[in-house]
Structure 1
């Protein structure tokens, strides 16, 4: 989820914790737990700092080790230890339990995004992405905001957020049912389906869809429970030519390939250089595929320039990165 949603979830857990007799409403433990749940709800996303280095590091590592099982416990012990230094009167066990819950909830809700997490590391590095909830879901965010407002107006925070989470459980069930309905429609209209990747949007009744069949990639949308097929590409394996192999050694290309489950490729040859491009098919927007990886190589197959990430026009891509003109 986005940073704002994780923050309001941390506040909500701090309010819910008041139902715990050891926490209460207004005492040192309640104060420590509120701080712990807010910090804990953000801690796994510390890897966002990798974006300051480059997109390749960020794409390869975001929601990886920091969302793993060992990291969950490390975060909880660190945050609890620091808070008990500053608020020694707090109940350490209950502070740790609620902080741990905040971190677990962060990782858990991220699993429902299309991006997913490596939540089962170190047992597996597989990305778990259920594709049910958008990274920013307006309903989830504003339901928490309403709960916070009701709390400010004088309602009991524990029962308020217990009600909020009861509503959200129902919301997740509805989203899961909607996704299953899309899968059913796809199987009715396409043969030989090998994989379906569904990415929710911020609009409640609109979804991005990429489908791999035996011979094709299909790009579609679901709008108001109706499938709209947008593009179809032949499913051509990436040839292991010298050009492709050299491009795959680049950090940006390799990061993209480690992350993207469905993409097509292009290789263009110019007078003095080659250009290799991989295009993620999950996020078609206004006729354009904005998530790409591109590498330019000279005649000796040395990488001249490369990029991976979101870009919404060819002009911006070349201007931003000062790539060799076509």
Structure 2
């Protein structure tokens, strides 16, 4: 046993040494990161669609060039504050996601999954936002080329029957009337292809009035409604705001707001089982037992310390008079 332990320690030291970036490699990654920072800022704050899309194209190209480099997984890209970068709990991959807007009718998410390799030759997989082409996005199982786009802010890892499942917490500004929060279960098939959604991943079988199970979970609510979807480590449970319609029209999602109650999901036998009421008391504003999820309009942190700008809408031009500048319109995503 002592020999085995020594061998494992030596192997770990060798792998760690092999993965360490040289000063020359570090310099190259930092140069690319500086360019990514500039274009990432313009993706979010560009004054017109042409600037935002051109910046997105440049950003994507530079990021790809960085990710194909050996040992790129070892570079943290910590100074990129306008995109999300989250790691799986087992450190086997990380996901970069961001969004680009054109106008009130178009908002799309972009992203890459980067897989870690012990030899330093990491593989990356693009994510193609196809939400506008998916008829029923809560009941699909699809690969990375048919991705229901979201900006991810957390990853949970669970296991069932020997397979790992990664629950992704995502944010989508959607349109001028509603915001979306997603829970999507990602797994890798036998060919190593990332798959999104599993049949009946979110079950309502224990509810007093059971509803059909879903392949992924969607919480859609009134714009700036500040509904939360987060994970409580002490309870080992996903917790989210219970929504009610402020106009008594629950079918209109743009009227839905939190009412102080909380629902949840508990991982049970390979499913997230719905818990209708997590707490037996209502909480006043500011007394939430869970942290806020990402909110692009309130400078909250997302994922690995990411701070998003005060708004993801393009920055308005400076006014030519002393009158206050009008707020830019909220960007909209079609097909969601």
TM-score (norm 2): 0.30
Q: Which has the higher helix share?
A: 1
Structure of larger gyration radius? 1
Relative contact order: is structure 1 or structure 2 higher (C-alpha 8 Å, sep ≥ 6)?
2
Q: Which has the higher strand share?
A: 2
